[in-house]
Structure 1
Amino acid sequence: MFLKEKLKIWFAQIYKSFRYHLIFWNLALFFYLFLTGDQSVFINYFGLLARESVYVNVVFVSVVVTVLFAFWDILVSDRVMRFSPIRTMVFLRSILYFALAFVLLYLAANKNLSFNSVVDYQSFVSHIPDFGLNDVRFFVYFYLACIGNSTFREMYKKIGVGNFFNWFFGRLNKPREEKKIFMFIDMKSSTRRAEQLGHEKFSRLVQDVFHDMSVLYNYQGEIYNYLGDGAVVTWDEHNGIRNTNCIRAFFAFLRVIEKRSRYYRWRYGEVPQFKAGLHIGKVMVLQVGSIRRDISYNGDTINTAARIESKCNEYRKDLLISGVLYEAFEQKDEYNFVKLDAIKLKGKRRPLLVFSVLPKGNKKRKKSKVQY
């Protein structure tokens, strides 16, 4: 199951990376062709295409560049970036950008070269062209496009898939009402753990945890915000309810942490444990701020989900959900839902019905001290 989850995340990341780069580079290179009218870069490299068309050639170059950038994204993951000097990574990126632009111009200037001629060093050097003004323009444009590519991708990842398109088309300028599922997920005994590890090592633990939290995307969840050592995860109503995705996501995350328990014990001395609260309801989504803008969700639903999560300690449960969310599920036979007493939540006038959740057929584990 762990391998399946990891592979699913990996393939999803590859697909999203390839899709993003393909759209971006098609738009960027067609825009360059529109601005300059320079068709010299877009040729049928090594005669790989059966049809001679500048538009087909642009798409072909876009696909080649997309494959290279997608491969770079896989090679230089977030975890690699964390342990690498920033200056080194910026330098390597710049070298990659200029090298790729050089290769495109080199091949475009030597249309009749065979692959064997290119890989031969002496032949390669002898065919280096004298770069003119148009070539310099392409170098500059391509480098700026690469920077824009990285910038837009980070924005895309920060805002989230759904909110990115709403933001891009201006739908968030006015508050909009949406029905959402919210999960507040938090690390147990984080204060004690932070004191034991120290702030630097504890910060690395949080980074590792958030990296493993990417399994939530396998169940259509989107991380709305990170709160210290926890996170706020959202689903739209359909995706969260379907196949009980919002519950399956939490237990999938616990399985990933459990499978990597040896790593966590080796690096941090113990395996982190988590608790979560879930609720569904209507919220207002809007764009806030003028100098620094962000996407914000406002409404009682978020506060209620946070209050439910805070009750996990009192009831010594890992996962609590509201009765409203329980009633929304069409499939209830995959998990054991245990009805608790109506709970008086802070700031709420009326008690709220709450359920604890456990997977069915959950094997009894060896007793261990569980810190809440």
Structure 2
Amino acid sequence: MEAATRMSGYRRHFSDADNEFEEENEAEEEYLDDPGNSSTSIDHVSSGAVINSITSKSSQSKKQSSIQQNSNQTLIKEALLRGQKLATNSREHARLTKSVTYWLAKDSQPEYAIEKPGFKRMLKAFAPRYELPGRNYFSRTAIPTLFSETYDKLKRTFSSTEVSFFSATTDLWTSCAKDPFLSYTVHYITPEWQLRSACLCTHYIVEDHTGENLKESLLEILDEWGLDAEKQVAITTDSGSNIKLACRLLRWTRLSCFGHNLDLAISKGLRDYSIEEVLQVCRQVIAKFSQSWKKTRDLAKSQAENDLPAHKLKTDCTTRWGSTYDMIARISEQQRSICVVLATD
């Protein structure tokens, strides 16, 4: 009975709510149907649209103002940071200094290169907050540190199981300043079957270049790097009698450089009288052009007129392999232009 009474109350409540809703709808329809009230209704709608529009524009304006303010703050921060130099003990300063050091070492640049105006300007454009250390810092600290790091890394590699065996190449050569050096390079294959090479040293040789002295120099190199001579499967050298003797004294397996042997064979073949005569003519022609800027200018003009590559003439050099071939090939390529210029001589 109580439940029935409760249910009856619920129905009455929902019924009353429905009646109220219907009465409100009817009153609204009567209001809209009245011609006198239609304009007022439209005005209300229009007023709402205008208010919404103004509110939207105001919100948009505030958002743009906020963005502009953030942008201005960012620009101010950037300007302040631009004027503030990187701390010398910061990670970014160390990274940039190491990059400059690597460039000096990798590209064999002289230390004074960092003091050149063009380099400084480029660095300022790339990293305006970076203050380049002085030349003495690179020569006394940065480059020796890089050398030590590379040296230790290579030494760890050779002492590990990564290098089971290795081969080597060595050569004696003379610099432009007429200073003699001995270079020693190792080659090995990693467990992942990747070929690796590392030039371990370029020793200044002050003693006479005898086989005995070269033997001692090579042993010093192996000892310095902790390399076991038993793991060296072979060493490649040129055909110099002194280095051949050094390898015999060390009981090392020696392979003769194929490129050097090929150059020796070709050079011997070119000693034929008829060939030597042709080569001498080529050298004389090249000398005429190298000694006269007018002929060089006329050659460039003739190359353009005859639709030939704007290449300079090459001369051969006894210490440069294949240079005689390069000289003959260039003469053949530029024969038409050379004849035109020499015909007016």
Q: TM-score band (shorter)? A: under 0.3
> Per residue, is there more strand in 1 or in 2?
1
TM-score scaled to structure 2, two decimals? 0.21
> Per residue, is there more helix in 1 or in 2?
2
TM-score scaled to structure 1, two decimals? 0.20
